[in-house]
Chains A and B, each alone.
Chain A
Amino acid sequence: MLLCQICKQREATVHFTRIINQQKVEMYVCEQCARENNDIKVNINKLLHSIMGIDNVEGVEEQPFMIKKCENCGMTVEEFNKTGMLGCPKCYEVFDESIKTMLKRIHGNVKHHGKIPGKLSGKIQEARTLNDLKTRLKHCVQNEDYEQAAQIRDKIRAIEKNKEH
């Protein structure tokens, strides 16, 4: 459960983004805090939209990712909300933020860990292996398993050396 960033007690159900000092700030708050906090001014009627990751928060100056339509296939956010279907591969970039939130809700984890198409596999596979090794190295060091850590470190070095050549 994600806790509200204001009261730190209830579950956060409202997600919004604001631009503060040219920086994108993301907030996760509960419904009650959202209602009480004048600064946020959430329109509760539009809460549902936040489930799809579409932020409909009044009083927020600018939302750079709020592109409403995919120029490639003509898909709109409204149509997506209605049908749950995207129009083309490009939609995944256009509605990136909305989809990310939705994917998190469905799959819990937003990074692909499965098959890589044959033509791309070499480079990406290498990067993925390297990433996995680094995570494992961190775990080993945390658990003070230095023998295992040394082995993993050597593997990482070998891959990185290979990359330079």
Chain B
Amino acid sequence: MNKWYIDKGPDSDVVISSRVRLARNVKNYPFPHKTTPDMQQEIVEKTKEALFAGNQKMLEIFRYIDFAHLDTIDKAVLVEKHLVSKELLESNRFSGLLLSNDEQISIMINEEDHLRIQCMATGMQLSKAWEICNNLDDLLSEKMDFAWFENIGYLTSCPTNIGTAIRASIMMHLPALTITGYIKPILEALGKLGMAVRGLYGENTEASGNMYQVSNQITLGKSEEDIILSIKNIAQQIIEQERTLRQELFNQNRIRLEDKIFRSFGILRNARLMDTKETLKLLSDVRLGVDMGIIRDIEIQDVNEIMLLIQPGGLQKKTGRVLKPDESDSYRAEFVRQMMNRK
């Protein structure tokens, strides 16, 4: 079955992917960091039961991954695909992941909260991702009671997530705004509007490859739909600005822009050693080239796939063994070369 990221979504020239996650905690249990191993096991069983019992469709769509039976490579891949947090894998808790076949929908069990229901989609599809999460939450709620108070909504172990307990985020590729420096006031404004901005790999990471993750910080006092709408509205403005600037860069100095893009393309197609950071940087140029119709030899889906699979875990999964750093660089370069020369 095709994975969700092998697809092109709306506004995909700027928005790489959309993600929604809901935090839920089971009533009458302490939050995960205060649970005993027995309780943790009970939560896992309850969740599986709520999803699978008498539901053939869900049995076909989802599988359960027990972290206790995973090797380090598989664990790294899950983290790189944003399906599991590093913190969870490092914790000694009894935990696991319910994952759909296309890897679009997941339920992480016993992380910071008992359940983290997550849905990802390509391009700008926050509403769709929310709808899927919401339906899954409804289904689970039929058999599980989640901790909820009328005035403060869904209870979470960290009060910053309380209320809707929703985190909606989009990953944006903003090369033109970054090159021209216009990104700075935008980032500042986003902070004032209650939005958090992060780099590609979540908290405390810098924006590598001109990728920015924008998400809501406020979870209480607004409805889920309103929270998503405000991100969508802000994103729409950023998208317009990015597009205008790209066109301007092109009009002002076409040769220079093309030169930059084709140089990066040339390196990716020929280099023999590539680290992750350099690959992401060059891929950003190539992505811009594909989006603007300057590079026609590859598809944007290929760029998406490369971006996800060039990380250490992804490469090791491909080669089937643990790689040393310089070995990784060599395999990475080879993989990128293959993908870039497919046509």
Contacts and interface: CB of A to CB of B under 8 A. Distances in A.
A25 interface: no
Interface in A92-109: 92, 99, 102-103, 106-109
A120 B27 CA distance: 14
A117 B158 contact: no
A72 interface: yes
A73 interface: yes
B152 A114 contact: no
A91 B25 CA distance: 13
Contacts of A119: 141, 145
A72 B147 CA distance: 15
B31 A112 contact: no
Contact of A89 (B142, B147, B217, B219): B147
A75 B138 CA distance: 31
Interface in A116-145: 116-120, 124
Nearest to B149: A92
Nearest to B166: A114
B162 interface: yes
Nearest to B26: A89
Chain A interface, >50% SS class: loop
A113 B151 CA distance: 8
A163 interface: no
Place the interface of chain A in its size category: 20 to 34
Contact of A114 (B28, B159, B222): B222
Interface string B117-153: 0000000000000000010011001100111111111
A110 B141 contact: no
Interface string B203-240: 00000000000000111111110100000000000000
Given A73-B30, A88-B30, A108 B218 contact: yes
Contacts of A85: 31, 33, 112, 157-158
A87 interface: yes
A40 interface: no
A108 B194 CA distance: 10
A34 B138 CA distance: 50
B295 to A, nearest CB: 43
Interface in B12-43: 25, 27-31, 33-34
Contact of B151 (A74, A108, A112, A118): A112
A145 to B, nearest CB: 24
Interchain residue pairs A-B with the least CB separation, the first 10: A109-B221, A112-B153, A114-B164, A88-B30, A89-B147, A107-B220, A87-B34, A73-B30, A89-B155, A73-B34
Given A72-B30, A87-B33, A108-B221, 17 more contacts: A84-B159, A85-B112, A87-B31, A88-B29, A89-B155, A103-B152, A103-B159, A103-B162, A106-B159, A107-B218, A111-B152, A111-B221, A114-B163, A114-B224, A115-B137, A115-B224, A119-B145
12 contacts: A84-B160, A85-B33, A86-B157, A88-B31, A89-B27, A103-B220, A106-B160, A107-B218, A112-B149, A113-B163, A118-B141, A124-B150
